[in-house]
């Protein structure tokens, strides 16, 4: 067998970068897509195998130590790496590992999904477009050009492993390593699919229908099994994960399963009380303002919040009241206010007992709105 260094046309002192450059130059010249001749195909296999050995520092060291370099390898002096591999999982003792499958599971994918607050009250459905790997329709995942099929590797005879017997202090031992020509698959593809370049998959955009459950919140991840990338050579799909972000809403905010809102009430309505109809996320809300309502009072409307993600039922709608003091009064309005105030002269502003709850309501309202 030819020497690996001669095959690549480099010196034994060649650097890893020089070896890589030599391989790339020869691969462009001998690749079956460029040079379909049988001689070029055989040389391409030799060049690929030589590069696989010399580009790996450990394999190159073992190769340099061996007195009979070559593909199959005859007898030769074994280094400590060969002895260790032989007795501790390196394929020694004549044990052969079978060829590995080209089919691999596809990678999982993670996407950010923005949803409206309205959508999570009851949940919704949506179609999303994903740029991902899909099965190649030309070869249907076989990786081969139409009308062709993989061929048994003539270097490892389909085993996916290269074995050689080496001499050591402990006698002759058998070492095994993945075949550099077929990369451990046991087969080679002389005519790769022109559409996917022998990968069995291509990049494409596809539409995926998803169910957004009620009650999801920012940071929650939804898992869609089997909706990720298709694997190499038509392997099974990975999973798709959607990380939810709930968009800001101009009127409503969220506190767990409750919806929060601020209602501005005119001073006269706060004093006398009134009723009003509000536009809720899921329809109209009838609201009663009791006489004497104060700023920072919270009006609770039961079961008009968000449907609970876990459990049953809905949260509440909590409306914080903000009494609006008019800043511009007509002459008549001012007279009426002055007349009202004149009858309450003994009830001017004064300090009262500290109320922690009042400040808590104010703080919560301003933090959430």
**259 pairs with which residues across the strands?**
254, 317
153 is in an annotated binding site: yes
The label of the residue with tokens 């590995």 reads 100
Structure token digits, residue 48: 């690929």
| Length, in residues, of the chain | 369
| CA dihedral sign, ordered 44, 18, 179, 183 | negative
143 is in an annotated binding site: no
144 is in an annotated binding site: no
Report whether 108 contacts 240 (CB < 8 A). Answer: yes
- List, as one string, the DSSP characters of 188-243: E-SSB-TTTTTSSEEEEEEEEEEEE-TT--TT-EEEETT-SPPPGGGPPP--EEEE
Report whether 160 contacts 182 (CB < 8 A). Answer: yes
* Cα(134)–Cα(295) distance, integer angstroms: 59
Strand order in the sheet with 221-224: 109-115, 240-246, 221-224
196 is in an annotated binding site: yes
Give the residue numbers of the binding site: 136, 139, 153, 156, 179, 182, 193, 196
Give the residue numbers of the binding site for Zn(2+): 136, 139, 153, 156, 179, 182, 193, 196
């Amino acid at each position: 067998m030819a020497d690996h260094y001669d095959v690549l046309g480099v010196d034994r002192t060649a650097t890893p970068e020089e070896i890589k450059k030599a391989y790339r130059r020869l691969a462009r010249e001998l690749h079956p897509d460029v040079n379909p001749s049988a001689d070029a195909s055989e040389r391409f296999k030799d060049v690929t195998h030589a590069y696989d050995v010399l580009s790996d520092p450990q394999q190159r060291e073992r190769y340099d130590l061996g007195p009979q370099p070559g593909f199959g390898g005859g007898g030769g002096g074994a280094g400590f790496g060969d002895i260790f591999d032989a007795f501790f999982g390196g394929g020694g003792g004549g044990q052969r590992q079978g060829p590995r499958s080209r089919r691999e599971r596809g990678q999982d994918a993670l996407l950010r999904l923005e949803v409206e607050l309205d959508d999570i009250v009851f949940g919704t459905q949506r179609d999303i477009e994903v740029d991902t790997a899909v099965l190649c329709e030309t070869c249907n995942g076989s990786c081969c050009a139409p009308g062709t099929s993989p061929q048994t590797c003539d270097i490892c005879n389909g085993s996916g492993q290269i074995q050689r017997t080496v001499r050591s202090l402990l006698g002759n031992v058998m070492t095994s390593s993945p075949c550099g020509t077929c990369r451990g698959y046991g087969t080679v593809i002389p005519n790769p699919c022109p559409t996917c370049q022998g990968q069995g998959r291509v990049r494409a955009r596809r539409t995926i229908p998803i169910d957004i459950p009620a009650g999801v919140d920012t940071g929650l991840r939804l898992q869609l099994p089997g909706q990720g990338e298709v694997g190499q050579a038509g392997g099974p799909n990975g999973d798709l994960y959607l990380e939810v972000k709930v968009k800001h809403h101009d009127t409503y905010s969220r506190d767990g399963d409750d919806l929060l809102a601020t209602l501005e009430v005119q001073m006269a309505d706060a004093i006398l009380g009134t009723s009003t109809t509000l536009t809720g996320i899921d329809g109209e809300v009838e609201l009663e303002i009791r006489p004497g309502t104060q700023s920072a009072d919270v009006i609770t409307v039961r079961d008009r919040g968000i449907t609970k993600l876990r459990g049953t039922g809905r949260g509440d709608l909590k409306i914080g009241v903000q009494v609006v003091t008019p800043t511009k009064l007509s002459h008549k309005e001012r007279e009426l206010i002055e007349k009202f105030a004149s009858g309450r002269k003994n009830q001017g502003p004064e300090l009262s007992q500290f109320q922690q709850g009042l400040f808590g309501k104010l703080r919560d309202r301003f933090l959430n709105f």
